[in-house]
Every structure is written in structure tokens, then in C-alpha cells.
Chain A
Amino acid sequence: MSGARERILTRVRERLGSAPEEPAPSREPREVRSGDVGEFCRRLQAAGASVERIAEDAVPQAVARYLAERNLAARVKVSPALANLGWAEEPLLETAVGVADLADSAAVMPAALGVAETGSLVHASAEDNPTTNHFLPDHAIAVVAEETVCADLEAAFSAASGPVMPRTICLITGPSRTGDIEQRIELGAHGPRTLHVLVTAPVPERGPTSAT
């Protein structure tokens, strides 16, 4: 449609006339404060996710335990970014690293950030972090470090978009749902039926693992 661009933009300019330039009153991201991690967990739970706070070296055990408690098969697709978490320590848990497909009922993937304001996980796609794994499996298990929890949406967008904009930034706030039949909310429309979030705390070097 050659010329369409010019015709549209010309019409817009004619209609607008000349408006004075005005500074963008964009809201500054809020600073992180104590209590933001708790707020993040509380809101995420309110959105229908389950949340567990663990030490950062305890992910494989937490995943195995979660699947066992729910009577789910001890088998997960692991996003490449999480390939080196020491999965061998859980010999009964079958893991495969890569992009999820229809055969995967559960997947474990990282979140780049948490957002206290909304209780959202922030997924940023990357070569070791496929977007598919967040959406295709029935059960999503996300790992997010507590020190990445930021205050609000502005802070999340600013952190996730720089310095190189990923193909996909996705704010995930609870499991998939729909209200399309008689306005009743049902979980598990097309994306995950359950979302379990492991919020990890750093382990002090060579120190004893603190009990949570």
C-alpha cells in the first residue's frame, strides 16, 4: 500500500495542527523497600499461584517435593538457563533440558525479576530461556531470586528492557484463567493450570545452610 503511510501521517498532522512540546511527566520507579518481597509473595498468592521460599541451592529438592505432593509424574522440562542447578542430586526426578512440547506436563524456568506492586514474575526471553516453557506445560514452576524483586511496573520494565530489548518480556501474574463461560473464573484455560513459584534466598558462602 505505497502512499498509505504518507496519507495517514499527513491527515494526522493536518488534524492536529501544531501542539506545543510538553515534557513527559513519566513516573519514576519507586525504590525497593523492606517488605517488598513479602508483598510480592502475598500478591502472587492472591493471583492463584503457590509460593515457597527456599535457599537458592535447594531448587531440585523443592521441585521433586512439589511434584510428589501433588501426585504428578516426577518428570520436568528444564529451561537451559537452569540446567546447572545440581539436578543429579534428585536421582528420582527425570529432567530434560530444552524447549517444552506437548508431552511435557511440568516445566521449571527462571524469572528475571519479581514485581512487588503486582505480584508478577517477569520473563525475559533469551537464548537459554524459551518463552514456550512458561505457557505450554500444565504445571509451571518458576524460580525467582528474592533480591531481584523490584518495586513497581516502571522499575520492572526499565530493568527488563535494557540494555538489549529481548524479543519477549512477559509479566506473569498467576496461572492461566478464563471468565468466558457465564463469567465464572476457571483456571487453566490454555496456559498452565498451576503456577508454583520458588522464591530463593542467597546462601552465604561456605556458611551452614540456614533453615527457613
Chain B
Amino acid sequence: MMDGAAAARFPEASARALGDENLQAALRLLGEGFQARRTDAVERFAAFEDARDAAVAAKTRTLRHLDRHLETFEARCREHGGVVHWAETPADARQIVLELLTDRGVRVLSKGKTMVAEEIGLNGFLEANGIEVIETDLGEYIIQLAEEAPSHIIVPAIHKTMPQVADLFRQHHDQTGAELFPRRTPADLVAEARAVLRGRFLEADAGLTGANFLVAETGSSVIVTNEGNGDLTQTLPQLHIVLATIEKVVPTLADGAAILRVLARSATGQDMSAYTTVSTGPRRPSDVDGPAEYHVVLVDNGRSRLLGTPAEEVLRCIRCGACMNHCPVYGAVGGHAYGWVYPGPIGAALTPALLGVETARHLPNASSLCGRCEEVCPMRIPLPKIFRYWREQEHAARLNSGRMRLGLAIWGWLAARPRLYRLATGAAMRVLSRLAGRSRRFRSLFLASGWTQSRDFPAPAGRTFLNSWKQRS
């Protein structure tokens, strides 16, 4: 299980990740995988930019009156026979779920993929209380076998190569008597997981899912999946529990449609995921299947405190994963280095809000502010702006190193005196250019060892940008 403390160890963890050959092999697939597929999907859909605007508008409008939409959601959900629970903290949410299960004598819980469950540490807690948890999303199942945390929000086992998955299945399935497969291709492994998990869906006494969004006007939860595991999880058992954070609500199904138009295209490069399911209340009295009980646990865990702050725009996130799929830092170190549930740019923007900037201060610094995340974010979340906000908080709380503070102070003093700044930088560029010699590179450089440890520092051209600009005009 992930504790928040690991987020503080990003520098060490990222250094280790760079040397992990399996991880690097898995991450190399991102370019021709999710990046290329998203590009294709966006090119196929002429109205993509309009759809982005509509989705952003829907969510912005929602957040402005979040209290009312939550109340409407609760009232409609209740009208349809559902029960809404409110949890301020992870501990509260865990306790609510545990009591729902123990009150009904549930021993086996099947589970669809939900990041909120990771966020509140649900699995470990339930297992410690004697409840067996069956992850049914293939990626989640793989990392459950490996006893690891997810490293991506939509592809939890993206850090695993096929041979690693085959090894896990060998260790865990060979003794179970389940139908076994040759394990030579991803298709073999998918078929084997299907065979093993089939019966388990029916064994479960309760099913737990997350929600891609909640719909206020109908009191519904909506999940978007490709495997069909979420639907089996919320249809077969007698009890369906939904875990969702409060910012997931949207006013209407039409607002949900606006989000659906950008979600799959941004996430997997599909025009539409295979299954988009709206669940409203328990089975109707005359229905022949479906759960007898429907409970929604609304979790705050820091969201309400984010409203009205410069970081509030992270609440628009629809968890598509596009930012991490396109981030050069995520692509180099993978998700585990971030040390907590949400990796990549969205993690760097959200984790400091949820765990505190003291713990997570390295994450918003793990960016060159290249802006690729904001470019692909379907909800136009200004991620680099939010990183800068957290960096300012870090600086204001004096959490960064003395050396960093000194450097910033000198630079700030200089930058506030333009003439002196130009003089100093002009001189430095000339000196560095001359020192570089014929190679035009530095193997090591005073005050820049962080750079030159792993690569050469290119020599400046001999004059500053401002010099060149002046000459040009």
C-alpha cells in the first residue's frame, strides 16, 4: 500500500527508475501506444476543440454551484431507492464501506477500478478486517498479484512487461486448477485472466466501483470501461457500492455527454469506450437482475478546501491520463517514482493539495514547464501554472534548500535591475563562450553539476538573446 511519505522521496525514486530496465522497456511503448492513438482520434474528430470547450464549460459551471448539485444528486439518488453517505476523510470513507459490508455479512468483494479507493487505502483496510477483495480490472488484478500500487491512472500495470505478467500468472495460477494458457502473447494472458476471474464475479457478495461522473438530475453514477468488468461488478452481486469524490458530480446527462466526447479520445484514442453505464438506484422491483441495494459514498478528502484557491482548476480533471501519457518526465521515470496515487502532471498538481506541500514539494518541481500536459488536457487545466503556484508555496514556507533560496534571491535581485542584469549576463555569456573552446561543450561546470552529471552543458553562443534582438531590429 502507498503511504503519502513516499511522495517525499521523488528524487531518489526517480533516479532508481531511470536504471530499471523493465520499466524503461515498458515506458518506451508510450509513443506509438497512447500518444499516437490520441493524435489519430483527435485528427478524426473535426469538432474536438469545440468539444473541449463544451466539456470545460460544463465542469466550470458545475463547480461554481457544487453545493446545490450535490444536494440535488442526493435527493434524486434517494428517490430512486439509493443511499448517499458523506465522508470527510479517508478514514471515514473506509469505515462507511466496512460497515456496509460487515452489516450484511459480506466476505468477498469484487471491485472495479477506482482511484479513490487507492487514495483512501481501501484494500489493505478491508483485508485487515477479514474481507477478501478481488480486483477485476486486468491491470489492477496484475498489480494486486504483484502486491504493487498502480503506476498510471487508467493503465495501472503499464510498468509491467508481458514476460513479467506471465511470471506472475505462473506463480499465482498454476496451483488453482484454472484453465491455463501458453502465455506467449498478450492475448494468451488476457484469456487466462478471463478464465480465472469468471467464476469469481459470481462468488462476490458485493461489488464496488468508482464513478467517472455522477449525474445530479437523475441521481446516477456513471462508469466508463472497456473490459466489462465494471458492469459485471455492479450487476451480479446483491450490493453495489459507489465511491466518488464530491467534484465528480455534473448537473445533467447532457453535461455527461459533453465529457464523454473528450474522455475516451484523450485517454485511449478511442472515439468511445466499449461500455458507458449509467446506474440509478438498486434493481427495480420487477427487474430480473441487478443489485438489491445501491449506496454512494461521497468523499471530500481535501476537495472542498481547494475551491477558491489558485489550484482549484485541478477539480475539472476527468482522469483520462493524457497528461501523463505525454509528459517527458513521466515517460522517463514512470508512475511509481511519484510515490502516491496520482502520478504525472495531474499528480504533481493534485498531490500537494491532498498530502500537503511539505510532503509533496518535489512533484511540482519535476517539470521543465514544457506545457505539453496543458496542451493535451481535454479539460484545459493549466497544469504548469498550478506547478508554479505550489513552487511559490514551497518557497514561502521555506521548504526548499538554502542553496536554492540563495540562487533565487541573487537572481531576483539581479532581475529587478535590468541594466545590471544585462551587463552581468552579457559578460557571463562571453566568458562561458570563450571558456568552452573548440568542443562548444562543458563536461563539468561550476554550480551546474546537477546538469553535467548526466550530460554535457552546451556552450552559449557568446551573446544574450537581448543582444541579438537589438541587432535584428
Q: A12-B246, A165-B220, A171-B276 are in contact. List 9 more A-B contacts (CB 8 A).
A: A4-B92, A11-B304, A19-B64, A118-B272, A127-B288, A161-B278, A170-B278, A180-B139, A189-B193
B446 CB, min distance to chain A CBs, angstroms: 43
Q: Known A165-B218, A165-B280; judge A177-B260 contact (CB<8 A).
A: no
Q: Which residue of A lies closest to B166 (CB)?
A: A181
Chain A residues with CB under 8 A of B251: 24
> 1/0 contact trace for A109-148 toward B, CB 8 Å?
0000000001110000111101110111000000000000
Q: Which residue of A lies closest to B312 (CB)?
A: A15
> Inside 8 A of A153's CB, which chain B residues have their CB?
257, 260-261
CB distance from B95 to the nearest CB of A (A): 8
Q: How far is the CA of A149 from the CA of B246 in the complex (A)?
A: 34
Contact at A176–B257, with CB atoms within 8 Å?
A: no
User: Can you list 16 residue pairs at the A/B interface with Cβ under 8 Å?
Assistant: A4-B88, A118-B271, A120-B272, A131-B235, A132-B236, A153-B257, A167-B279, A178-B226, A181-B165, A183-B29, A189-B138, A189-B194, A189-B228, A190-B198, A191-B227, A191-B228
- Answer whether residue A104 sits at the interface, using C-beta atoms and an 8 A cutoff: no
> Taking each of A135, A170, A179, which has the highest tally of chain B beta carbons within 10 Å of its own beta carbon?
A179
Cα distance A207–B30 in the bound complex, in angstroms = 57
Closest Cβ of chain A: how far from B240's Cβ, in Å? 10
Does B114 make an interface contact (CB < 8 A)?
no
Contact with A along B110-139 (1 / 0, CB 8 A): 000000000000000000000000001111
Q: Does B199 contact A (CB under 8 A)?
A: yes
**B104 in the interface (beta carbon within 8 A):** no
Contact of B307 among A15, A22, A25, A43 (CB under 8 A): A15
Q: Is A70 interfacial (CB-CB < 8 Å)?
A: no
A4: B residues at CB distance < 8 A? 86-88, 92, 300
B119 to chain A, nearest CB (A): 16
Query: A47 at interface (Cβ–Cβ under 8 A)?
Result: yes
* A178 engages B65 (CB within 8 Å): no
Which residues of B have CB within 8 Å of A13?
67
How far apart are the CA atoms of A69 and B204 in the complex, in Å? 36
B289 A131 Cβ-Cβ under 8 A:
yes
Closest beta carbon of chain A to B232's beta carbon, Å: 5
Do A12 and B70 form a contact, CB below 8 Å, given A1-B96, A130-B288, A178-B227? yes
Interface string of B175-193 (1 = CB under 8 A from A): 0000000000011011101
Interface on chain A toward B: helix, strand, loop, or mixed SS?
A: loop
| A4, A12, A16: residue with the most chain B Cβ atoms closer than 10 Å | A12
Contact with B along A4-16 (1 / 0, CB 8 A): 1101110111011
Give the docked Cα–Cα distance between A134 and B228 (Å).
9
Asked if B323 CB lies within 8 Å of chain A CBs, one says: no
Partner of B277, one of A7, A168, A182: A168
Complex interface: chain B residues within 8 A of A192 (CB):
228
Residues of B within 8 A of A66 (CB): none
Q: Does A33 contact B (CB under 8 A)?
A: no
Q: Which of B189, B258, B279 is the one whose CB lies under 8 Å from A27?
A: B258
A99 close to chain B: CB less than 8 A: yes
A115 to chain B, nearest CB (A): 9
User: Which residues in window 128-155 of B have CB below 8 A to A?
Assistant: 136-139, 142, 155
| Interface flag for B443 (CB, 8 Å) | no
Kindly count the residue-residue contacts between A and B in the assembled complex, taking CB atoms under 8 Å apart: 247
**Bound Cα distance A17, B254 (Å):** 26
- CB pair B138–A178 under 8 Å, yes or no, is yes
Contacts of A173 in B (CB 8 A): 270-276
Instruction: Verify A188–B92 contact, CB threshold 8 A.
Output: no
Q: Nearest-CB distance from B260 to chain A (Å)?
A: 6
CB atoms of A11 and B277 under 8 A apart = no
- B202 at the binding interface (Cβ < 8 Å): yes
Complex-state Cα separation, A134 to B231, whole angstroms: 9
How far is the CB of A7 from the nearest CB of chain B, in Å? 6
The answer to whether A170 and B256 touch across the interface, beta carbons within 8 angstroms, is no
User: Shortest beta-carbon distance, A48 to chain B, in Å?
Assistant: 8
B308 at the interface (CB under 8 A from A): yes
Cβ–Cβ contact A1 & B85, under 8 A: yes
In this assembly, does A60 line the interface, its C-beta being within 8 Å of a C-beta of chain B?
A: no
> Which listed residue, A8, A47, A132, A154, touches B289 by the CB 8 Å rule?
A132
In the bound complex, do residue B307 and residue A24 qualify as a contact, i.e. CB atoms below 8 Å apart? Answer: no
Question: Which one of B156-164, B330-338, B407-415 contacts A?
Answer: B156-164
Q: A36: which B residues are within 8 A, CB to CB?
A: none
Residues of B within 8 A of A132 (CB): 235-236, 289
User: In the bound complex, do residue A125 and residue B186 qualify as a contact, i.e. CB atoms below 8 Å apart?
Assistant: no
- B253 near A161 with CB under 8 A, answer yes
| A169 and B221 alpha carbons, distance in the complex (Å) | 11
Residue of A nearest to B57 (CB): A25
Residue in contact with A12 in the complex, picked from B235, B276, B304, CB distance below 8 Å: B304
Q: Is B319 an interface residue (CB 8 A)?
A: no
**A166 lies within 8 A of chain B by Cβ:** yes
Q: Within the assembled complex, what's the spacing in Å between the Cα atoms of A131 and B85? A: 26
A80 to B261, CA, bound (A): 33
CB of B32, distance to nearest CB on chain A (Å): 8
Q: Would you give the shortest CB distance from A129 to chain B, in whole angstroms?
A: 8
The 6 A-B pairs of least Cβ separation, nearest first, read: A191-B228, A183-B33, A189-B227, A15-B307, A127-B286, A153-B257
